[in-house]
Amino acid sequence: MVEISRIIEQNPWWAFGEAFFHYDKSKSMKEYNDALIKFDRKKLELKPSNIYAIYGPRQVGKTTEIKKKILELIKSKIEPESICYFSCYTLASRNELRKVLDFFLDKLLEQEKIYIFLDEVNFIKGWVEEVKRIAESDRFDRITILLTGSPFGIKVHTHELIGRGIEGNRYFMKPLTFREFVFQVCKDGHLSTQDYSLRKQLEILPSKLQNSFIDMEKPILKMIPIFKKLLAFDKSLSFLFNTYLKTGGFPAVINNYLRKPTNKERINAEFYERFIELVSKDALKQGKSDRTMQQIITAIIKNFGSRYEFGALSKKIEEPITSPTIIDYLRLMEDNFLINVLYSYDISKKSVKSKGAKKIYFMDPFIFHSFNGWLYGKPNYSFSEEFLLKETNISSLAENVVFTHLARIKEKPLIKPENRFLWFYYDVRKELDFIYQKENKEYLGIEVKYQPKVSFKDIRFLMKENLILSKNEFAVDKNTVILPIHIFLPLLQASSNNL
Distance separating alpha carbons of residues 443 and 217, to the nearest angstrom: 10
User: What is the DSSP-derived secondary structure letter of residue 419?
Assistant: G
Which positions ≥6 away from 167 have C-beta within 8 Å? none
Q: Do 230 and 84 lie in a common domain?
A: no
Predicted model pTM = 0.92
SS3 of residue 286 by DSSP: coil
Query: Residue-wise pLDDT tens for the chain (499 aa)?
Result: 678 888 899 999 999 999 998 888 887 888 888 888 888 899 899 999 999 999 888 889 999 999 999 999 999 999 999 999 999 888 888 999 999 998 888 877 778 899 999 998 887 888 889 999 999 988 899 999 999 987 665 655 666 777 788 888 999 999 999 999 999 999 877 777 777 888 888 889 999 999 899 999 999 999 999 999 999 999 999 999 999 999 999 999 999 999 877 777 899 999 999 999 988 888 887 888 888 888 888 888 888 888 887 777 776 676 778 888 888 888 889 888 999 999 999 988 888 888 888 999 999 999 999 999 998 888 889 999 999 999 999 999 999 999 999 999 998 876 665 578 999 999 888 889 999 999 999 999 999 999 888 888 877 777 899 999 999 999 999 899 999 999 999 999 999 999 9
Residue pair 424/435 in contact (Cβ under 8 Å)? The answer is: yes
- 498, exposed or middle or buried, with CB in 10 Å at 0-12, 13-18, 19+? buried
Identify the pLDDT of residue 417.
56
Residue-number span of the structural domain to which 242 is assigned: 178-212+224-251
The residue type at 477:
D
How many domains does the chain divide into? 2
SS3 of residue 205 by DSSP: helix
Q: Do 13 and 139 lie in a common domain?
A: yes
Residue 158 lies in a domain: yes
Q: Do 45 and 188 lie in a common domain?
A: no
* C-alpha to C-alpha distances, 84 to 78, 81, 89, nearest whole angstrom: 12, 8, 16
SS3 of residue 245 by DSSP: helix
User: What is the DSSP-derived secondary structure letter of residue 413?
Assistant: T
Q: Do 93 and 208 lie in a common domain?
A: no
Residue 14 lies in a domain: yes
The residue type at 127:
W
Q: Do 113 and 83 lie in a common domain?
A: yes
Identify the pLDDT of residue 418.
53
Q: Which residue in 354, 392, 397, 415 sits closest to 172, CA to CA?
A: 415
CA quadruple 388, 393, 399, 405: dihedral, nearest 10: -30
Residue 453 lies in a domain: no
The domain that holds 143 is classified in CATH as: 3.40.50.300
Identify the pLDDT of residue 150.
74
Q: Which residue in 454, 403, 473 sits closest to 433, CA to CA?
A: 403
Identify the pLDDT of residue 284.
85
DSSP assignments along 296-349, one per residue: HHHHHHHTTTSEE-HHHHHHTSSS---HHHHHHHHHHHHHTTSEEEEEEEETTT
Q: How far is CA 304 from the centre of its chain?
A: 19
Identify the pLDDT of residue 151.
64
Residue 440 lies in a domain: no
Which positions ≥6 away from 114 have C-beta within 8 Å? 82, 84, 104, 105, 108, 139, 142, 143, 144
DSSP assignments along 114-177, one per residue: EEEEEETGGGSTTHHHHHHHHHTSTTGGGEEEEEEE-STTTTTTGGGGTTTT-TT-EEE--SPP
Q: Do 157 and 182 lie in a common domain?
A: no
Q: Do 45 and 189 lie in a common domain?
A: no
Continuous segment of H or E residues that includes residue 260: none
Continuous segment of H or E residues that includes residue 201: helix 196-209
Identify the pLDDT of residue 310.
73
User: What is the DSSP-derived secondary structure letter of residue 414?
Assistant: T
Distance separating alpha carbons of residues 480 and 305, to the nearest angstrom: 24
Residue 126 lies in a domain: yes
Q: Do 86 and 206 lie in a common domain?
A: no
Residue 97 lies in a domain: yes
* C-alpha to C-alpha distances, 4 to 22, 101, 485, nearest whole angstrom: 21, 12, 53
Q: How far is CA 282 from the centre of its chain?
A: 17
Q: At what angle do helices 251-259 and 234-247 cross, to 10 degrees?
A: 110
Q: Do 138 and 91 lie in a common domain?
A: yes
Distance separating alpha carbons of residues 352 and 346, to the nearest angstrom: 6
Which positions ≥6 away from 340 have C-beta within 8 Å? 334, 360, 361, 362, 363, 403, 404, 407, 418
Identify the pLDDT of residue 287.
84
Q: Do 151 and 54 lie in a common domain?
A: yes
Residue 338 lies in a domain: no
- 34, exposed or middle or buried, with CB in 10 Å at 0-12, 13-18, 19+? exposed
The residue type at 350:
K
Residue pair 253/247 in contact (Cβ under 8 Å)? The answer is: yes
- What are 50's strand-pairing partners? 144
Residue 167 lies in a domain: yes
Q: Do 100 and 232 lie in a common domain?
A: no
Distance separating alpha carbons of residues 425 and 415, to the nearest angstrom: 21
Identify the pLDDT of residue 67.
94
- Please report how many Cα atoms fall inside a 13 Å half-sphere around the Cα of residue 484, on the Cβ side: 22
Q: Do 70 and 128 lie in a common domain?
A: yes
User: What is the DSSP-derived secondary structure letter of residue 72?
Assistant: H
The residue type at 446:
I
